[in-house]
Structure 1
Amino acid sequence: MMLYKLRLTFVLIAIGLNIGVQAQDFIPILKKRAYLNNSYQKLLKVTDTLKIAFIGGSITETNKGWRDQTMQWFASKYPNAKFKQINAGLSGTGSSLGVYRIDEHVLNHQPDLVFIEFAVNDYKASKHHILEAFEGMVLKIKKANPKTDICFIYTFSEAMLESYEKGFYPNSIIAMEEIASHYNISSVNFAPDIIQRIKNKTLAVIGPKQHPDSTYFSSDGVHPYENTGHLYYTQTLTKALDKLLNKGKRFNSKKDIYYSAQLEKAKMTHLETQMFNGIKAEIPPPKFSSLIQNIFALNQVEDLLQIQFKGDRIGFMDIIGPSSGTLKIKIDDQEPQYITRFDRFCSYERLHWFIIDGLAPDIQHSISISLAPNRIDKARILGKATDTEDYKKETWRVGKILMVDK
């Protein structure tokens, strides 16, 4: 369990949100650093449409969860206003992919308000990667439109419980709070309310949806139930929004860079036919069609992807699942490295990504990717039989290149 040195204790407060946390400074669930002034002004103008974007992992992506419930609250609270929801949640992904895809999946829609939720999926990420990715997203949003409001959202998982109970913030939230503090971004932490319910024995972390004696947060300790975990999330957020939706302190977009501006130019770009040896583009499965336009599939050891690029990193967004295999990757004159695109969650298809960094930043590189000849013991990884045709295949289906600038 990863613990940070910042000590916290749960306390009750008499006004506003009912649960807070105390460290060297008093830190409530709502850390109000700036009002959502732009959004508030849009709500007052019934002729305008308030465009609200949500970017995060599966907790954000899921239908009828805190995202949809929050939109319902907006519609009920402001019946004369117009709204557009932008759902950029993507299951199983963290901020290190979010910073690459935020342009296409969020900023192209010109949002007025952006909620960023990656606390759970970034739980095991390094502080370096969190700071770099979150600062990159903030810089991108403000470059696209300095008036756009931002709010960080911190969700809860069972893995975080021990840290909180011992009086420590999870590492992901510590890093995100550094960026929020530097750029005057308000943040809302969903965890204290959930933990207080657990302490009061009115909520258990894991259990079936229906039980005569108990109420449960989730089935797995991560993904909340619609009528408990997600509902409590929404209640916490909407209480905070009642305080944030006001005319007040504006976001200061002229502060110095806090950690790194490296990923301000991070982007996704399309793959092109000439990068492959005769492989043609395919239409992605329908459930991914809103996020990727086409895919290329390596199906044989002879199939090859070759790219020349300049920069200190390159990555790919791909579709992994039962048919995924191992990649042989060669960069410049280095020895080949092997990356397995199959894990314990590959009983179903999902979008995923990987990034190779630490390269010399100012020279041109060449990367070639093919399927490795060695086969994966998929039954061992999954702990179950894998005798269907999909599991017998060894493929790689790739949809986007992840690059910085060039």
Structure 2
Amino acid sequence: MLERIKKKLTDEKDLCVVYLGGSITEGAGASAQDRRWASRIQAWLEENWPDTRWRSHNAGIGGTNSEFGVFRLQHDVLSQKPDLVFVEFAVNDYKTDGNQCRNAMEGIVRGIWTKLPETEIVFVLTATVKMEEECYRIGQVPESVIIHEQVASYYHIPVIHVGEELLEQIRREGAAPETYLPDGVHPNDRGHAVYYETIKEYLLKGIYGLARRPLPPPMGDLRYGNVRMLDAVKTAETDFCREAISLCGRYTGYISSNVPGQAGRVEFDGTGIGVYWMIGADSGIMEYRIDGGKMQAKSSWDTYALRFDRCNHCMLASGLEEGRHVLEFKVSGDKDEGSLGHFLRIAAFLVM
């Protein structure tokens, strides 16, 4: 078991665990929430240390990568004051720009340890059939895995290769990948069980010699060193409706409009801005500009939206001059061919 966790199990007996990641952490593919790997690990902890008061929070959001993860850090992770954080983004970072991936993962680590230096972090590296076909099968390692390992090594963070273990088990058994990964990405109950067993065995082995050191100089440019979320309901000047309900169960309160031409604006200090919004069957297109510049457009709809609603993020601008800027936005009269409406539902603005 991790050294600081072992000590807290003995001395404090009051621990919080946060599981930060994408759909695999959220539990996609599992037949029930208690069958997902994160829930199984939590149940194992509670069963084996029954005298401890356990708290847990699953901060997995499907289809999201480490960049959104670093923006969500304060709201979804640090607010829980965790003692242990599992971070899982290797799959959703697979096609992400390498520098962005490295900076975001580093931003997560530094963001946690700047506020909570005693918190343990563990990277959980998952895998897909596509990663097997494009990389592992020909003796290569996916770039996202390499980068996550590099960040982990630099900051002395444990890494658990659950994806590689699952792929190896499939090879040993001569099984079809669909036996464990029906859609090639999300594990079924059998796949989640392999992830759980791999993590459990790793934790039971004991992780020693990972003494925490002061935060070293950053690996990258710290572009995510001062990220924050501006609550849309509180900060946007707009005629959009102000909703008091939760956005996909992830963020309480958001602004919304289905009226083409309805507009808003928000001022921010920083070098970049994005949106935390909903992708749904009736989602539309945002037209926007920064500091009175050229009007641009981003869609909050995709084909997956026809099957389920979800939260995600979209960066609108980066590399701006440091200082005060103005984002103007409005509901577009255009929409994607498959969309059922023009809705924009925005929970927060992401500032860097």
Q: TM-score, normalised by structure 1?
A: 0.81
Q: Matched residues in 2 for 1:323 and 1:286: separation?
A: 14
Q: What is the match of residue 121 of structure 2?
A: 150
1:79-158 alignment runs, 5 A limit:
79-158=50-129
Query: 1:96 Cα deviation (Å)?
Result: 0.6
Residue 274 of structure 2 is aligned to residue 315 of structure 1: yes
Counterpart selection for 1:231 from 193, 199, 210? 193
Q: Tell whether the 8 Å contact from 2:283 to 2:340 is kept in structure 1 after alignment.
A: no
Q: What is the match of residue 316 of structure 2?
A: 356
What is the RMSD of the two structures over their aligned residues, measured on CA atoms?
Answer: 1.8
Q: Which amino acid aligns with 1:140?
A: G
Residue 230 of structure 2 is aligned to residue 269 of structure 1: yes
Which stretch shows the higher mean deviation, 178-187 or 80-89? 80-89
Residue 138 of structure 2 is aligned to residue 175 of structure 1: no
Q: Matched residues in 1 for 2:242 and 2:219: separation?
A: 41
Q: Tell whether the 8 Å contact from 1:135 to 1:260 is kept in structure 2 after alignment.
A: no
Quick one: percent identity of the two aligned structures?
27
Q: What is the match of residue 20 of structure 2?
A: 55
Q: Which amino acid aligns with 1:111?
A: P
Q: Matched residues in 2 for 1:395 and 1:256: separation?
A: 43
Q: Tell whether the 8 Å contact from 1:198 to 1:205 is kept in structure 2 after alignment.
A: yes
Q: Tell whether the 8 Å contact from 2:273 to 2:349 is kept in structure 1 after alignment.
A: yes
Query: 1:399 Cα deviation (Å)?
Result: 0.6
Query: 1:202 Cα deviation (Å)?
Result: 4.6
Over 3 Å counting, the alpha-carbon distance change for 1:100 and 1:168 in structure 2 is same
Could you say what secondary structure the match of 1:70 adopts? helix
Q: Tell whether the 8 Å contact from 1:273 to 1:279 is kept in structure 2 after alignment.
A: no
Q: Which amino acid aligns with 1:298?
A: S
Q: What is the match of residue 41 of structure 1?
A: 7
Structure 2: gaps spanning 5 or more residues:
28-32
Query: 1:107 Cα deviation (Å)?
Result: 0.8
Q: Matched residues in 2 for 1:300 and 1:139: separation?
A: 41
Q: Matched residues in 1 for 2:169 and 2:340: separation?
A: 46
1:180-219 alignment runs, 5 A limit:
180-206=152-178, 216-219=179-182
Q: Matched residues in 2 for 1:323 and 1:52: separation?
A: 35
Q: Which amino acid aligns with 1:200?
A: R
Query: 1:76 Cα deviation (Å)?
Result: 2.9
- The one-character-per-residue Cα deviations of 1:85-107 (angstroms, maximum 9, x if unpaired) are 12111111111100011111111
- The one-character-per-residue Cα deviations of 1:305-331 (angstroms, maximum 9, x if unpaired) are 201222211011111111111111111
Q: What is the match of residue 392 of structure 1?
A: 340
Q: Matched residues in 2 for 1:187 and 1:118: separation?
A: 12
Q: TM-score, normalised by structure 2?
A: 0.92
Q: What is the match of residue 372 of structure 1?
A: 332
Q: Matched residues in 1 for 2:239 and 2:46: separation?
A: 51
Answer 1 or 2: which has greater helix percent: 2
Query: 1:401 Cα deviation (Å)?
Result: 1.1
Q: What is the match of residue 211 of structure 1?
A: none
Q: Which amino acid aligns with 1:403?
A: V
Q: Tell whether the 8 Å contact from 1:146 to 1:253 is kept in structure 2 after alignment.
A: no
Q: Matched residues in 1 for 2:313 and 2:232: separation?
A: 14
Q: Tell whether the 8 Å contact from 1:185 to 1:251 is kept in structure 2 after alignment.
A: no
Structure 1: gaps spanning 5 or more residues:
1-34, 207-215, 379-390
Q: Tell whether the 8 Å contact from 2:19 to 2:87 is kept in structure 1 after alignment.
A: yes
Q: Tell whether the 8 Å contact from 2:262 to 2:330 is kept in structure 1 after alignment.
A: yes
Q: Matched residues in 1 for 2:348 and 2:96: separation?
A: 22
Query: 1:366 Cα deviation (Å)?
Result: 1.5
Counterpart selection for 2:184 from 221, 224, 230? 221
Q: Matched residues in 2 for 1:287 and 1:319: separation?
A: 7
Runs of 4+ in 1 over 6 A off after TM superposition: none
Q: Which amino acid aligns with 1:377?
A: E
Q: What is the match of residue 14 of structure 1?
A: none
Q: Matched residues in 1 for 2:230 and 2:206: separation?
A: 36
- The one-character-per-residue Cα deviations of 1:177-213 (angstroms, maximum 9, x if unpaired) are 111111111101112221222222353212xxxxxxx
Q: Tell whether the 8 Å contact from 1:51 to 1:110 is kept in structure 2 after alignment.
A: yes
Q: Matched residues in 2 for 1:267 and 1:153: separation?
A: 25
Could you say what secondary structure the match of 1:293 adopts? strand
Q: Tell whether the 8 Å contact from 1:137 to 1:264 is kept in structure 2 after alignment.
A: no
Residue 257 of structure 2 is aligned to residue 292 of structure 1: no
